[in-house]
Structure 1
Amino acid sequence: MLAGSGPSGFYNAPVTKALVFSLGLNTLLASFLDVRHKWHLQLWPQLLQHHQIYRLVTTNLFFSTTSELLFGTCLLYHFRILERQWSSSKYASFVFLTSAMSTALNVASLFLTRGLGFKSLRGVPAGPYGLVFAALYAYGRSVPGTYKFKFAGKEWTDHVLVYALSFQFLLAQLPTSVVGSVCGLVAGVLYDLNFLEMKTFRLPRFLQNLAHKAFTPLFASSPPTGRLAGTTIEDQRRELRDRYTASMRGNAAAAAAAAGTGGIPVVPVDPPSPDAIAQLENMGFSRPRVLQALRSTNNHVPAAAAFLLDNRQ
């Protein structure tokens, strides 16, 4: 259902790849050792009596059930578009901040519900609920819908499919899963509001360098092929937009380097190829706009498609 979110795979999304694979491995290992139901976040007796502070960290490292693993990793995989838009450095900082904030909010919520006498809300299930729903909020705020459709007399975007899957994930362990999900949404709102300048925070440079050297060989992915995988115009539009977003950071850096050395942008001599023109015209754009977009992007089809999508009339 979510496969049309862009080019498949983890190209330019190593943080997402590390999250998905580590969550899957940790959940399978915890299931094999029969301990995955013992690491949820609960005040009494785990935190207050036994002082098991490590639960504040371990509760985010795996899911309690296989269904949660399936829905959670599917959503995180879909949200890799955030990493491609922001950069891996910013997304890793987002993961750290929202996970820490949502965990702190979980503890505060448990104290509140304990004081109010809600016996059914004594703990929060294991799993990065906070991260998933913080990323869901960021996704809804920063990623535009690719296509619209009508249902029950109302107009919807393709985002509704992501929200439906998120709602299914929310129902995994009612009512306790609601606490973690709401805390994640609050963390996402605070990040979006740039509370305490959170958007400017980055993990220390030495940690980034260490992670790059240690994990790049494990989590680096090959770039997508030139052929589009989408079977519909809407899927191909989203795929072109995502492929362009994933690649343009390097192009922008190269352009900046050329400008810094006095370089002059190269104007393409050859006219746009008929295949490139036809591909963009098949997406529903007029020929004059297609030619203008191709000329302004040096005949780079994904960049031209993204330009046209971002400037739809």
Structure 2
Amino acid sequence: METANFQHTTVLLDEAVDALLAQANEEQGAPGRHWVDGTFGRGGHSRLILSRMAASDTLTVFDKDPEAIAVAQALGDARVQIRHQGFAHLSDLDEASVDGLLLDLGVSSPQIDDASRGFSFQMDGPLDMRMDSTRGQTVAQWLEFAEMGEIAEVIREYGEERFAGGIAKAIVARREERGPILGTAELAALVAGAVKSREAGKNPATRTFQALRIFINAELQELEQALEASLKVLRPGGRLAVISFHSLEDRIVKRFIERHSKQVYDRKNPMAADKPLPLRAEARIKPSQAEVAANPRARSAIMRVAVRTEVPWSSV
């Protein structure tokens, strides 16, 4: 399969790999470690992991995008195990088999920059937005039949868009007048006409396109499934690093780590012993000013890092 030569600059490259491999650096010589890159993308993080892991280690990479899978196959490294699946399938891995798990969330630059994928409101292309272009419903197909209330709910919930009702009304009116909306440029223009005030420096279609992409790919549901699976697959001392790019993702990651790493005071039983917790929160890391200056798409990134404790999976 041929892939277009769209460039991608990996966000928090060194910071993420340093966080993932920190325990391995302390325990040099331990054989047969297992690392997981749950979002291979164009392989920036994976390549650095491969350059630093031992010959006896393995790296499992997940990705929905067939173009990303083609890049992974081209690595030609026998230590790499490739799964053409979303990271919700992390639970398929063996219990306590993973030394480090990295999730780099959201959409990659090559997906945005390729107009044929339908992620961008700045270039005209088919209104698709599927991470896996080989299966599932496109945004155009969903918008053709979705009810106005459902469209508004998706845009409001996943885009945090206060004009969601007006946007949904404009979409349905356009659909009833002239049939389905098939292109990104037309949808972007429709949204711009329905948004009554604009955030400085932000395209009025930004929130709506984000919402439709998250919805059509079930991104937040998959994130929640993957985080829960991490408790099963990480070995004691195994490390979890998650890079998010907007508040909806980061809120889920933050709450998950807090829920499994912070003691909850029981007012009814103040003398109760502390409950063993499966995670230890370790770090919250943002890109440096230099990285943001070189790659503006990094400006909203936040990485949260946690470590799996000795608590057995069966007791979580």
TM-score of the aligned structures, taking structure 2 as reference length: 0.24
Kindly name which structure, 1 or 2, has the bigger radius of gyration based on alpha carbons: 1
Higher strand residue share: 2
Higher relative CO (CA 8 A, sep ≥ 6), structure 1 or 2?
Answer: 1
